[in-house]
Structure 1
Amino acid sequence: MVRVPTIKFNNGFSFPVIGLGTWKSQPGQVTQAVRDAIDCGYRHIDCAHYYQNEGEVGQAIKEKIAEGVVKRDDLFITSKLWATYMRPDLVEPTLRLSLKNLGLDYLDLYLVHWPCALKEGDNLMPFGPDGVRAIFSDVDYLDTWKAFEQVNKKGLAKSIGVSNFNKRQLERLLQNSTIVPVTNQIECHPYLNQKKLTAFCKSKGITVTAYSPLGSPDRPWAKPDDPVLTQDPKVLAIAKKYNKTPAQVILRYLVQIGVVPIPKSVTKSRIQENVNIFDFELAAEDVAVIDTFDCNGRVCEFVEAIGHKHHPFENDEY
């Protein structure tokens, strides 16, 4: 079993430097994936209401605590507030629904999933008549954040943060809030290494969590000729040099550039492989090679919200 190092948030809480992502993990598979992850040494599980599988994640957590493999205090569980629940009066009830599904009394971290609010309701993607664009809500994320500060004060979420916020949105939030987000969870991998946004976040004491750290090759909208990070000849050559897999090289790279990757897998061998990255270090020249991959290669664009005044990727460099 791997012992995963931790870093400290700006509020003093510890954050394991790798976690298990659960986006796209099917309800039938995710319980076993979380069981396997905890057995392998993962203590950080990244969830969200939008993924529609928190009940199954909670089942695995309950089993592993009952078996005595872990205590609740050993685990770091994240969830996220989806875009259709951003109205301030919906924040606490939605967080409590995640707690109920996960079988927990508190979250270690609660995130605003996106800065752009969608039409309120239980339809998670309320499409307009064209079936392509979602119906927007005019709720401002600053008001959502005030409700986040309240659930934090109540102890329902020990830490609060954001996801998919750009620099301008973070600056606006910092100017209008009393609690600094502990993290900004963003898409981050060698094709989109986010060095500028990461540097800005660090200057404000905000950690960066990296979703889709391997480039999300299983995304439903991938095209046959899209490049696949783990098959890149340069990555393969570096992997051979260290006697590691391409995925291990990429995850190690992300840890070394100072972000916290949350790779998703439901395959036990890969879950084990992904956490086994703390027994080697990439040389500076190998990090420099992977740095050259950056091409603003974003794969998660939230196209349904394009045109929303708070869409994070339309009008800003980072």
Structure 2
Amino acid sequence: MHPSNSFQDTKIPLVHGTGAIPAVGFGTLIRDPVAAKEAVKVALEAGFRHLDCAELYSNEDVVGHAMREAFEAGTVQRKDLFVTTKLWNNNHRPERVSPALEASLGRLQLDYLDCYLIHTPFAFQPGDEQYPNDEHGQPIYDSGVTLMETWRAMERLVDEGKCRSIGLSDIRLEKVKEIVAAARIKPAVVQVECHPYLPEWELLEFCQQHGIVLLAFAPLGHGMEPKITDDPLINAIARRVDKTPAQVALAWAVQRGSALLTTSTNPDRIRQNFDISPLPDDAMQEIRNGIATSVRFNAVVETGVPGFVPQVG
């Protein structure tokens, strides 16, 4: 699946889609538009060929401009880039799915997506508000649509050639199983929080059994406490293999068969996070057996409200 000395060119074939997804991806959840545009350009120059976006991030237009400039500069061609974006919770009604994708394509300045994900399995009240709340500040959910109905609309997007694969995000294994059992076009990708403190072994095993790519977001725990990069075991391995703790945690993710997303606005860190290579087998076993810390940093799987994305308005 990967060359012996680097994970930079590792791709995972999409059994339920077209092509293959680069295992090392760059997440675009960067609030400052100037910083976001520059970070995407640096990431593409460093070699990243997988960009993860979302309507919710409110910067698809910024990412689109960065990609366009990279195309025009000859840094990368569209055919070599894997671009994902996501359907937000207020657009789960089937009649809203295609317009939402078209709007994302317009902002990204693209003709098609490589992958379109349902951002969370929670449907919010349809409308223009991303976070419709009641008088108590609680989300207003939409009981008039099921996740399966939204999925059927996603399948039609593949039929129409608007996206080459579809998938799920911020979701628990039980819900993934429901969709896999009933879907005509199976999920190609399932994106969830995943790192050495939340390894999601059962979900990973299910995904691999069904040809689904598990895509790990927050593979470094989003820098939150307890910090994965401060973990004594990961630091000991990093010293042993002459890599940073971050590089060890990222390599662990790819080596176990998942893809990952890493985000930074620091050019040196962007390049460093792309420069990852296989770990010794004993290091992989140490991480699996020797880390007892168990933490979920983002409660989005409980409510549909992402913990890492500041609410606007």
TM-score (norm 2): 0.91
2:285 is equivalent to residue 288 of structure 1: yes
The answer for the alignment partner of 2:22 in structure 1 is 16
| Structural mapping, 1:82-101, within 5 Å | 82-101=88-107
Q: Percent identity at matched positions?
A: 37
2:44 is equivalent to residue 42 of structure 1: no
Measured at CA, do residues 288 and 81 of structure 1 come closer, stay the same or move farther in structure 2, by a change above 3 Å? same
2:10 is equivalent to residue 5 of structure 1: yes
Measured at CA, do residues 30 and 140 of structure 1 come closer, stay the same or move farther in structure 2, by a change above 3 Å? same
Instruction: Note the C-alpha offset of 1:128.
Output: 1.7
Deviations 1:2-57 (A, max 9, x none): 95221101135111011001124422211001100010000000000001111111
Deviations 1:125-174 (A, max 9, x none): 1122122x211111211000010011111111111111122222122112
| Structural mapping, 1:29-178, within 5 Å | 29-131=35-137, 133-138=138-143, 139-178=145-184
Question: What is the DSSP-based 3-state SS (H/G/I as helix, E as strand, rest coil) of the residue aligned with 1:148?
Answer: helix
Contact 1:134 1:304 in 2 (8 A): no
Q: Matched residues in 2 for 1:44 and 1:28: separation?
A: 20
The answer for the alignment partner of 1:275 in structure 2 is 274
User: Runs of 5+ in structure 1 lacking a partner?
Assistant: 309-318
User: Runs of 5+ in structure 2 lacking a partner?
Assistant: 1-5, 306-313
Deviates more, 1:246-255 or 1:169-178: 169-178
Contact 1:48 1:80 in 2 (8 A): yes
TM-score (norm 1): 0.89
Contact 1:9 1:182 in 2 (8 A): yes
Question: What is the DSSP-based 3-state SS (H/G/I as helix, E as strand, rest coil) of the residue aligned with 2:117?
Answer: strand
| Structural mapping, 1:163-312, within 5 Å | 163-217=169-223, 226-278=225-277, 281-291=278-288, 292-293=290-291, 295-302=293-300, 305=303
Q: Matched residues in 2 for 1:178 and 1:19: separation?
A: 27
The answer for the alignment partner of 1:314 in structure 2 is none
Measured at CA, do residues 204 and 294 of structure 1 come closer, stay the same or move farther in structure 2, by a change above 3 Å? farther
Q: Number of residues paired by the alignment?
A: 298
Deviations 1:244-295 (A, max 9, x none): 11110000011111110101111111110001013xx212221122223254
CA RMSD of aligned residues (A): 1.9
